[in-house]
Amino acid sequence: MVANPLEVPSLVLSLLVLAATAFLGVREWLDRRSRGEEEMAPGEEAHLAVRDVRRRAGLILMTIMGVLASIGYWINPAAGREDARRVVAAWVVIGVLMIVMMVLAALDWLHTAQYAQRVREELADERAALIEAIRRRKEGPSKGPPLEK
């Protein structure tokens, strides 16, 4: 029997990816749980719902990658040509999944930036309206006699 050079590295990588996935999954769960029943603006609710779907998809992809990374533990590529092909195929799938993960991360980043820009614009509009109301109040004629001290 030929020694498997990928046995330990594959198992370690697989366990690290699965541990990171578990950590991120718990963090996402706590984040959703912390929102509770608080009232949110419709735009915020929609943004968070879409973000949650993207992040769950990322967790599923990470789980698949973690499981596939362990293939070197189960299959010895040094044992024969067919086994080597299986290991290469698994790593090609992992590479494709990593590209999909990067696309999801980019979408998450873009969507969050767009949401933040909308919120900044809404806050700026509210601020401008408040400043205008204060200005009108200061410039307008006073109603009634001035208050005495």
Instruction: Compute the CA torsion angle 134, 138, 143, 149 (nearest 10 deg).
Output: 100
pLDDT at 10: 87
pLDDT at 77: 78
Cβ of 142: how many Cβ atoms within 10 Å? 8
pLDDT at 38: 76
Report residue 70: phi and psi, to 5°.
Answer: -80, 0
pLDDT at 84: 86
**Computed from CA positions of residues 17, 22, 23, 25, in that sequence, does the dihedral angle turn out positive or negative?**
positive
Q: Which two tokens stand for residue 96?
A: 């494709």
pLDDT tens for each residue of 106-148: 999 999 999 999 999 999 999 999 999 898 888 876 555 565 6
pLDDT at 2: 64
pLDDT at 148: 60
Q: Which two tokens stand for residue 117?
A: 């820009």
pLDDT at 36: 75
Q: What is the mean pLDDT of each run of 10 residues along the chain (149 residues)?
A: 77 94 95 82 84 94 93 81 88 95 95 93 93 86 59
Q: Using alpha carbons only, what angle is made at residue 111 by residues 108 and 114, rounded to the nearest 5 degrees?
A: 150
Q: Which two tokens stand for residue 98?
A: 């990593």
Residues in the chain: 149
pLDDT at 73: 80
